A and B are shown apart, each in its own frame.
Chain A
Amino acid sequence: MLPWEFNILLVSVILLLKKIYANELTFELPDNAKECFHDNLKIGSHFTLEFQVITGGNYDVDLELKSPTGKILYRETKRQYDQIEKTAEEAGVYQFCFSNEFSTFTHKTIYIDWKVDGDPEHEITQPGPRVAESALTMIERNVERIHENLEKSIDYQTHHRLREATGRARAEDLNQRVQDWSLGQFMLIIFVAIGTVLLLRSFFSDRKTSNMTWNR
């Protein structure tokens, strides 16, 4: 029905375009809270964890990355952003935990990007399996390069967006605070002015009666 070359091409296309598993999540970590994520990995898979604190306090968080046997692969306190690239040496459940336990009342918004490079049995080591290598023309090579550059572009855009989100959150906070405090100070001025006058009047009204009695 279909020529065998199409089969090969189909397999290679699918294996090429098979999404390297990537998961981006942004979540809120309340104060004094800890949030853990887990993933089951096979030996030899490359994984990358990238995180950035978007809003909250000093924009810092604790992170701990543990292997299935409990070995600590990464442990840092009060980091604002980082990128961790490792190769899985053991098969099993890897877990990474974010901790905001050092903070008493600020909750943090954290962005994470978890990328797993696939299992060795399905892994594509070259841009194209061996059988299709002879078919890689200049166009295909250029297409591959464009693809990589576009991926980088998207990545830069994401980081730009995250930084902007931090700035915007601060600006919104400032705007609100200017309003609240200015209104408060305005009212305070009025109250203090009236209050001072009333207080002074209260001092003299006692003496007034005593003066009257004395003058008589």
Chain B
Amino acid sequence: MCNSSYFVLIFSLSQLVSLSYSLYFHIGEAERKCFLEEIPDDTLVIGKYKVELYDENSGAYRPSTPGIGMHVEVKDPDDKIILSKLYTSEGRFTFTSHTPGEHIICLYSNSSSWFGKQKLRVHLDIDIGEHAIDYQQVGAREKLTELQLRVRQLLDQVSQITKEQNYQRYREERFRTLSETTNQRVLWWSLAQLVILVIAGFWQMRHLRGFFEAKKLV
């Protein structure tokens, strides 16, 4: 009985792990690839990646030799770096946003240039908010039944929707401020240009009249 339950657990775990790395793209060694993520505050972001190096002998991509690592840099909306670490060729990085807005996640390899201009294959998976929660782990850890786990998932989804709505309010406020700034600028600059035009006209006429009067008297 014990054996079968362990077997079941391992089997289920293996199903989940097999989905880890799917989408991939190629970058050059010195190239820097950045992704933007617009997220509300207090949101968990988990990124998983795997790097492979192109092996010319076999003509395929192999898991790279130790020494090739990925430098992950995350900038928050205020352009402050909140995560900047060097990871091995396969790993995951996590951060929680403290300000709502556009976060930039940049990946670049730290390989030295004598490897040559080779192509790297990067598998990447970025999970945000409730997608980042591993329900299998939650269920196993807290011994929840199926219904409880599903309800937990609903709770997490609803909380994410609430956060996103809150963020939308914040965005709308900023957009409104921006529009009003533009409105103010158009108004004041137009007035200023009108005034300067009138002043310039008057100044020109006065100056030239003085200039010609000075001539006639000579």
Binding site for B on A (CB under 8 A): 1-2, 4, 6-7, 9-19, 21-28, 35-40, 109, 114, 116, 118, 122, 132, 139-140, 143-144, 146-147, 150-151, 153-154, 157, 160-161, 164-165, 167-168, 171-172, 174-175, 178-179, 182-183, 185-186, 189-190, 192-193, 196-197, 200-201, 204, 208, 212
Q: How far is the CB of A21 from chain B (nearest CB, A)?
A: 5
Rounded to whole angstroms, the CA-CA distance of A11 and B146 in the bound complex is 10
* CB proximity of A119 to chain B, nearest CB, Å: 8
Closest residue of chain B to A114, judged by CB? B23
- Cβ A161 vs Cβ B164 within 8 A: yes
The chain A residue sitting closest to B151, CB to CB, is A143
Q: A10-B12, A13-B139 are in contact. Are A21 and B22 (CB under 8 A)?
A: yes
A182 vs B192: C-alpha distance when bound (angstroms):
9
On whether the beta carbons of A37 and B24 are closer than 8 Å, the reply is: yes
Residues of A within 8 A of B38 (CB): 26, 161, 165
Partner of A10, one of B18, B139, B164, B171: B139
Does B81 sit at the interface, judged by CB under 8 A? no
Report which B residues bind A (CB closer than 8 A).
1-2, 4-5, 8-9, 11-12, 15-16, 18-19, 22-26, 33-38, 124-126, 128, 131, 135-136, 139-140, 145-147, 149-151, 153-154, 157-158, 160-161, 164-165, 168, 171-172, 174-175, 178-179, 181-182, 185-186, 189-190, 192-193, 196-197, 200-201, 203-204, 207-208, 211-212, 215, 218
Does B161 contact A154, Cβ atoms closer than 8 Å?
yes
Given A26-B35, A27-B33, A168-B171: A17 and B5 interface contact (C-beta under 8 Å): no
| Known A28-B36, A182-B189, A186-B192: A147·B23 in contact at CB below 8 Å | no
Partner of B136, one of A14, A27, A36, A201: A14
Are B186's CB and A17's CB within 8 A? no
Assess the A38–B1 pair: CB atoms within 8 A: no
For A161, the closest partner residue in chain B by CB is: B38
Please indicate which of the listed interface residues A22, A40, A116, A150 has the most CB atoms of chain B within 10 Å of its own CB.
A150
Q: Do B25 and A143 touch (CB < 8 A)?
A: no
Q: Name 12 interchain pairs, CB-CB below 8 A, sorted by A.
A: A13-B145, A19-B16, A23-B126, A25-B124, A36-B25, A39-B23, A165-B38, A171-B178, A186-B189, A190-B196, A192-B200, A204-B211
